[in-house]
Amino acid sequence: ATPMLASLRVLGGADRIGLSRSAFSFEAEDGGYRIGRLSPTQALYHLDGKMRFVAAIGEYSADQPYLLPAGHHLVAGHYVLRFDA
């Protein structure tokens, strides 16, 4: 990852950046966010605070969410989203 990517932030809601509302769910939790993949075709990836690959979020759903730590990033489609507490 390049240092330029570290400063990227998504402005506006998901509907304004072209992500489907049914792509994934997220819910705040102490220390992070619970991420659930809602569409079987939606690729989701976890990057750490320095934009390094951590894991593919493929087997997780709203019923069994993935815990994304605060300050880490979620790659969804063409977008990198940072979740801050």
**What does the pLDDT look like over 23-68, one tens digit per residue?**
888 888 888 999 988 888 888 999 999 999 999 998 888 888 999 9
Average pLDDT over residues 68-84: 89
What residues does 85 pair with on adjacent strands?
none
Alpha-carbon gap, residue 40 to 53, rounded angstroms: 21
**How far, in Å, CA of 67 to CA of 64, rounded?**
10
Sheet holding 66-69, edge to edge: 24-29, 32-37, 66-69
Residue type, 82: R
Q: What is the pLDDT of residue 3?
A: 53
Predicted confidence at residue 15, as pLDDT, reads: 47
* 8 pLDDT above the threshold of 80: no
